[in-house]
Every structure is written in structure tokens, then in C-alpha cells.
Structure 1
Amino acid sequence: MIHQVQRSTQVGRTTHSPKRRVTPIYAPGRRHPVGQVVGDAFIKHIAFSKHTLRSPRAIAFDVSTLDDAERAGAVVAEIHDTESRNVWTAPIALIRSKGFPVRRGFGNQWALTLEHWSRNGLQSEAEAREEQQAAKQAAASVVQLGLFGGGL
């Protein structure tokens, strides 16, 4: 269920700033929103120790909330941990492509393991690992070319 309200935002010291649409996102059967879409971000505030999967370590969403957030214009999920103040971000397309279904008694959910999430703006573990593998493959190609008289 999507409800739309308008909220003005301030940037720096300017007195006139553009209004940004804020869209509350509700889970089925809930009276209070589980998050909101602000600009292109689906923002949720959670107590990380209580509201994440422990095995595997992952962040899960009710599928309907992801659908509603995308309809409201969200392309990225932004999870604010109220305990540590960490901010976890991932593109919703990545959540859908690399995620997995969760059915543990809390409705139809979709989750993404923590290795795919960026924490506090840093590169995700999965991205770092992919870059390291690409660098190793590139180095191996240069060595192999050298063996056959090519390369540098």
C-alpha cells in the first residue's frame, strides 16, 4: 500500500529548496510504514541485531514492499541500523538478481546476503572480490603472453 506526502528538504543554508516526494511503504497488515521512498531510495530504519537473518547473514524485505518501493521510484535500498548507525545500501535490481526467497513465517520475503551490501559508502565484499579476481586474471594473461613471445 502506498501513500504519498510532500516534504520540503533543506540543502545547506538555502531557504528555498526543491520539494522531494516522500512515499511511505507499508507491509501487508501493518498500520505503520516499514520504510519510505525518498527520491530514488527506499529507506528503512532497523535494529540490525533483531531484524536481519543470522544464517545466512542477510537483509530481507517483504516482496510487496520492494514492489511498492519500485513503483514509487526507488532504485536503491538504504538500510539504517539504529544500533550501530551503519548505513547499508544495495541496488534493488541487485537484491532481485542475487537475492533468494525467504519463507520463515513472516510472509513472502526476498533477501540479499551482507557480502553484496555496501556499508557506509564502502565497496561491498562481493565487488572487492570480483575486482581482485579480474586483476589476477589480467596478470595471468600478461604472464601467459610473455611465455609465447607476446605481451609487453
Structure 2
Amino acid sequence: MALSSLTINTRLTDFLRLLVFRPRKMVSTFYQIVQKFFLLLCLSSILHSEGAIYSQQVFSYDCSGKSDGFYTHPGKCTHFVACVGGTQAYEMSCPLNYDGNLLHFKVIQGPYSSTGRCDFPEVADCAHKKSTQIPILSPPNKEYYYYH
């Protein structure tokens, strides 16, 4: 049910009256409410965005001896592994591109460590990607069909 403009104006006027009569208490409460609202809004947009990256603890990826960071997934171009504390590994998924397809992970070598980002498949140049090119077969030999 939509609120009429009269109802909205009445509520706004009542709220402003409260601010005038009890400014200190209401102003601090107002700012606390606004602060919590924006915090919840930011968290909900991050958690529920389309193509959000999810994580789950990885099966058997060895992070021992590796610094915290992102590493290529051993079998999937659209996923990567996040190593934390040299012991925990998390499988992460790249988000969707504008066509609804998952992006591919690309390792970027930096001066201090390697990191990565999700990018288009042709840019990422993943080693695990399967060839989608269909092999062209030569036509069968005519002599084969007539040979007895």
C-alpha cells in the first residue's frame, strides 16, 4: 500500500518537531539509525549482488609455504584458490560477465608477490580450458567403399 504525500508530510513534520524539542537525544539516535542503515545496506549489496564470489573450504589444495593470496585452481579456469595463513585454502568463483558467463582467473605477477583477477577468457588465457574447435575430418576414400 503506497503512502500518500499528505501522510509522508505529516510524518516528516512530526519527526522534525521531535528534533526541535529533543535535539541532542534525537540527533544522536538519528545518526545511529542512519549509520546502521547504511552499514546494513552495504553488507546486503555485497552479499546479495548478482555474480557474487562465493567460497568454500577446498578439498586438498596445499597452501603450506605459500603467502596469503590468490592462486590458480588446479582444474577450473573459472575458479581460484585463496590461501590464508599458510594452512587454509578456500575455493573461490569468479563473477559473471555481462553475458552471464563466468569470468576466468588470471595470475598477475607483482614485484613482491603474485596476485590475480577475474577477466575475460581470451585475456586470461587459462591452461585448463578445453578446446571448443571441432576437428575437420577428411572425406572418406572412395576406393574404400568399392574395395571388396
TM range (shorter): under 0.3
Q: Which has the higher helix share?
A: 2
State which structure, 1 or 2, has the greater radius of gyration over its C-alpha atoms. 2
TM-score, length basis structure 1: 0.26
TM-score, length basis structure 2: 0.27
Q: Which has the higher strand share?
A: 1
